[in-house]
Chains A and B, each alone.
Chain A
Amino acid sequence: MHDTSASSASAVIVVGIDGSDTSWDALCWACGETSRLGGRTVAVFVGPTSDVTSATATASFAGAAIAYGAIQETMIDQAEELGGQARNYACEHGVDLTFVHTHGDTATELMRIAGSDCADLIVVGRSTKARHHLAGSLGRRLVGRRNAPIVVVVP
């Protein structure tokens, strides 16, 4: 019963948020669709990996001066702030929202959460770093996956 046509009773919409403008647009879209279809929104914030490789990468980038713990604390603060804002927004619009904070690769984590919640829709904002093209756009990576549910990329 998880295909889109049968899901109008309770849709699960996963939205990736990172605090950028486009990710708020994505959240708006997700909340709009949720309130229209009925169901719930899962807002996902994916922080950087907390494993050793990323720690060393960050440390070497920062000249090994900044303690990794401090970085992680900032990330947690940021995540909490985002979660609060997302909840407020959802509350204003009468949408049932769950906030999830995970670590790892953004596309993989979004897919994982979408899979475990049997999501009908993944919503992401368009990459604001389009000109940088350092890590590749999240939207492009999600769109390229065959097993993904419907993906919406909001400009």
Chain B
Amino acid sequence: MPVQRVEQWVEPVDEGPAALSPPRLVVVVGFDGSESAYRALDSATHLISGRTGNIVAVYVAHPSATAELSPEGLGEMRNGFDALEQQFTEAIRSRLDLVEQRWRLERRDGGIAHELVAAADQVSRDNGTDATVVIVVGSAMHTYHHVVGSVPVALVRHAKYPIVVVP
């Protein structure tokens, strides 16, 4: 049925028929290899099935405060992040291989919520106005919530994109 409907929830002002050019849906998924991240990935797959669009899985390497102190620790951590990136690419590939091919993994460094929004901004710029950007995250992305605050909550507070939070 009307795939174009998707445009209306983002630009409800434009109530007219949104059928001129079918909007692309780009789903930015926060991915950290956790259980809920996989569920977020599944949910993203669900969102773009039957639509034009693609999935951008974003892995944000978040340097922990203690490791930042020593240069050796930092180097070691970088290697760890690179290994993880490889591992995640494989993991997503094996998860989505049969279902969905329109995805890519992007690695970013920094604060998680901030980088996810930055990734969404980037995607939004790349695709122009005809694309709709949605951010999907798992609800418990990291165990150190109590230190840096929950990512979904931060996203809900700041982001200008629809946020899908998958438990």
User: Which A residues contact B (CB, under 8 angstroms)?
Assistant: 4-5, 8, 21, 24-26, 28-29, 31-32, 35-36, 93, 126, 130, 137, 139-140, 143-144, 146-155
A21 to B12: give the CA distance in the assembly, Å: 9
Interface residues of B in 135-160 (CB under 8 A from A): 139-140, 150, 152-153, 156-157, 159-160
Task: Check A36/B162 contact, CB under 8 A, given A25-B12, A28-B9, A93-B5.
Answer: no
Contact yes or no, A146 B167, CB < 8 A: yes
A143 to B50: give the CA distance in the assembly, Å: 27
Interface centre among A5, A21, A147 (most CB of B within 10 A): A5
Contact yes or no, B5 A140, CB < 8 A: no
Interface size of B by CB at 8 A reads 29
User: Which of the residues B1, B156, B167 comes within 8 Å of A153, measured between beta carbons?
Assistant: B156
Say if the beta carbon of B34 comes within 8 Å of chain A. no
Contact yes or no, B50 A25, CB < 8 A: no
Instruction: Contacts A24-B12, A31-B5, A93-B5 known; list 13 others, CB within 8 Å.
Output: A5-B42, A25-B12, A32-B6, A36-B1, A36-B50, A130-B157, A137-B157, A143-B139, A151-B164, A151-B167, A154-B9, A154-B162, A155-B159
Contact yes or no, A28 B8, CB < 8 A: yes
A137 to B9: give the CA distance in the assembly, Å: 20
User: Which of the residues B9, B140, B166 comes within 8 Å of A150, measured between beta carbons?
Assistant: B166
Give, as a whole number of angstroms, the nearest-CB distance from B72 to chain A.
38
The 10 closest A-B pairs by CB, nearest first: A29-B9, A28-B9, A32-B5, A139-B156, A151-B165, A143-B152, A153-B163, A28-B8, A154-B162, A143-B165
Interface residues of B in 1-36 (CB under 8 A from A): 1-3, 5-6, 8-10, 12
